[in-house]
């Protein structure tokens, strides 16, 4: 018995010498807890949502999560995901704040630069060029490969938008000289050179785009636009022969055909002017990779050509602009002008270019001594212009009645909100709006319209969550009432649930009020811009209508 006691004493003494760390080390599957179980679940849930394609759910869950669940360097991936979600929903201010706080130098440079570049793109679309420039300035090192050919053109666009044409021209010239082939950048270079006072060089760059081989609808539209810009430029300085040839380059089925037909008629009435020489830069070619020039079959590793070069693109290079001599007499010139204007008069009278053509056709007939035809087309013009005047006046009345006021936002119910959105967005920018053509060319207007639609979708998700909370609140109250009727004391967990439901309801209500305020601002901006375009449209339509009526009255006299 004594032996057993003697053996037990050293054993007990030895157990007392084992430290807690040693005891933990003896359990291989044990991990020391860093957070409580609730916070661990929150973090796992947020990380799961960060990998999903539902930015709103991630932002909503983050609103509900405890502050400690998002603190710490190990949660930077969640913070970056929250910033990306905010940017996807148009909350660019929130995204910028989060990026500046969490996109630190230790973050992967490729990811960091990609996110800053995408945010700069979003700011540029919204029309805030200072914020876009600040996002670009936050990039350190090379941008990702898919954006490599876009950074310099974007910087040049931002410089042009801020009135720094010379700096934009310098950047684009240097960039294009390295073998890049971007016709949109070359178009902007031409615009920058013209704005800098280098008219001949700018015209050469624009003509390079105006004569390029276009492979896509977007490039064909750019080619038409370059020809239109050049043609009106030469028309303004009285170079009708050059302008005529440029107007005739524009496709008759393209988006700029109405303006080209109108300009061609005016160019027939303009003097021929002198021959126009132009300065052309060197032809843009892709720099050949030396490995691609080696004979086939050699045991060498063949490098892939740089993607920035792209397929070979050749621009037509001539010494002078093509010219088309006009008619000798005034009557012959008006007869030539009637050809494009008559074609223009067969198109949709909602376009302002068509309206101007309708007003010019009878005037041209009166100038060539054809009063019957002039009278006929005066009546035709009045019959087509008067409905356009009435439509735009009704539209202006609707825009005045649609005033939302800052912070008013949408109606509370889902059906009313959808009806409000459909009515107002169609009124602001729909194809039925008489000023639709001007709205399409306003990139900032289009960006705000898309942002408004995204915000209404986000608001509907908030309303759905509020409805779910109301259902949970009803169930909770029923449980508490059941305990009270039975005479039992309600468990403490029900009180905790009530506090959680109340806190979540307050957060969602706060988010809804903020969304309503932003929606009110966006809606009011669109309404004001639409009202501006509508009044400008009305001014032009009334001018054409007055001109037609005056001409008709003078013809009768």
Range 5-33 average pLDDT: 36
Q: pTM of the entire structure?
A: 0.72
Min mean pLDDT across 8-12, 67-71, 102-106, 511-515 is at 8-12
Is pLDDT of 398 > 80? yes
Which residues lie below 8 Å from residue 308, measured CB to CB, with a gap of 6+? 148, 149, 179, 180
Residue 267 confidence (pLDDT): 95
Residue 364 pLDDT: 95
Query: CA 380 to CA 407: how far, in whole Å?
Result: 47
Inter-residue contact 188 to 157 (CB < 8 Å): yes
Residue 514 has pLDDT above 90, yes or no: no
pLDDT of 411: 63
How far is 39 from 224, CA to CA, in rounded Å? 59
Q: How much is the pLDDT for 352?
A: 93
Share of the chain residues as helix, strand and coil, in percent rounded to the nearest 5: 70, 0, 30
> What pLDDT, on the 0 to 100 scale, is given for residue 503?
80
Q: Is the pLDDT of residue 68 over 90?
A: no
> Checking phi first, is residue 514 left (phi over 0); if not, alpha (psi -120 to 50) or beta?
alpha
Rounded distance between C-alpha atoms, residue 464 and residue 457, angstroms? 11
Q: What's the rounded mean pLDDT across residues 74-94?
A: 75
Confidence check: pLDDT of 496 > 90: no
Rounded Cα distance between 84 and 98, Å, is 9
The mean pLDDT of 322-330, rounded to a whole number, is 88
Phi, psi of 412 (to 5 degrees): -70, -35
Give the range among 119-123, 368-372, 533-537 with minimum mean pLDDT: 119-123
Domains in the chain, start-ordered, CATH in brackets? 40-148 (1.25.40.10), 408-556 (no CATH)
Band (pLDDT 50/70/90 cuts) for residue 289 is very low
Q: Which residue has the higher pLDDT, 542 or 275?
A: 542
CA distance 378 to 322: 36
């Amino acid at each position: 018995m004594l032996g057993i006691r003697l053996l037990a004493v050293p054993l007990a003494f030895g157990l007392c010498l084992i430290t807690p760390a040693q005891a933990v080390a003896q359990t291989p599957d044990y991990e020391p807890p860093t957070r409580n179980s609730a916070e661990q679940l929150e973090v796992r849930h947020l990380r799961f949502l960060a990998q999903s394609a539902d930015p709103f759910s991630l932002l909503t869950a983050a609103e509900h999560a405890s502050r400690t669940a998002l603190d710490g360097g190990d949660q930077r991936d969640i913070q970056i995901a929250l910033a990306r979600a905010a940017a996807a929903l148009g909350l660019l201010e929130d995204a910028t704040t989060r990026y500046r706080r969490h996109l630190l130098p230790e973050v992967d440079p490729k990811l960091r630069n990609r996110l800053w570049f995408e945010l700069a793109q979003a700011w540029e679309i919204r029309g805030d060029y200072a914020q876009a420039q600040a996002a670009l300035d936050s990039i350190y090192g090379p941008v990702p490969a898919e954006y490599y050919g876009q950074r310099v053109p974007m910087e040049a666009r931002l410089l042009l938008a801020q009135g720094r044409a010379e700096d934009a021209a310098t950047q684009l010239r240097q960039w294009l000289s390295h073998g890049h082939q971007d016709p949109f950048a070359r178009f902007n270079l031409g615009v920058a050179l013209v704005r800098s006072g280098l008219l001949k060089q700018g015209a050469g760059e624009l003509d390079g785009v105006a004569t390029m081989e276009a492979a896509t609808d977007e490039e064909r539209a750019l080619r038409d636009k370059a020809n239109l810009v050049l043609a009106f430029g030469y028309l303004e300085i009285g170079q009708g022969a050059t302008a005529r040839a440029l107007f005739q380059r524009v496709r008759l089925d393209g988006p700029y055909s109405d303006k080209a037909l109108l300009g061609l008629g005016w160019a027939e009435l303009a003097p021929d002017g002198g021959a126009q020489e132009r300065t052309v830069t060197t032809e843009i070619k892709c720099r050949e990779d030396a490995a691609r020039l080696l004979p086939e079959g050699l045991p060498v590793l063949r490098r892939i050509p740089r993607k920035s070069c792209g397929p070979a693109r050749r621009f037509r290079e001539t010494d002078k602009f093509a010219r088309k001599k006009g008619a000798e007499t005034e009557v012959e010139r008006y007869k030539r002008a009637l050809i494009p204007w008559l074609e223009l008069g067969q198109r949709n009278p909602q376009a302002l270019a068509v309206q101007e053509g309708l007003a010019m056709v009878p005037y041209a007939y009166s100038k060539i001594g054809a009063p019957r035809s002039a009278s006929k087309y005066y009546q035709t013009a009045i019959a087509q212009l008067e409905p356009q005047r009435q439509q735009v006046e009704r539209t202006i009345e609707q825009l005045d009645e649609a005033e939302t006021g800052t912070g008013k936002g949408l109606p509370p119910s889902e059906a009313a909100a959808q009806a409000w959105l459909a009515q107002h967005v169609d009124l602001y920018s729909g194809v039925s709006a008489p000023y639709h053509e001007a709205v399409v060319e306003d990139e900032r207007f289009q960006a705000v319209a898309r942002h408004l639609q995204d915000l209404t979708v986000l608001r509907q998700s908030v309303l759905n969550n509020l409805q779910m909370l109301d259902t949970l609140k009803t169930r909770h109250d029923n449980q508490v009432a059941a305990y009270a009727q039975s005479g039992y004391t309600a468990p403490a967990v029900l009180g905790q649930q009530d506090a959680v439901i109340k806190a979540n309801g307050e957060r969602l209500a706060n988010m809804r009020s903020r969304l309503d305020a932003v929606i009110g601002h966006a809606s009011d901006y669109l309404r004001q811009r639409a009202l501006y375009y509508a009044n400008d449209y009305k001014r032009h339509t009334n001018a054409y209508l007055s001109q037609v009526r005056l001409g008709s009255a003078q013809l009768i006299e």
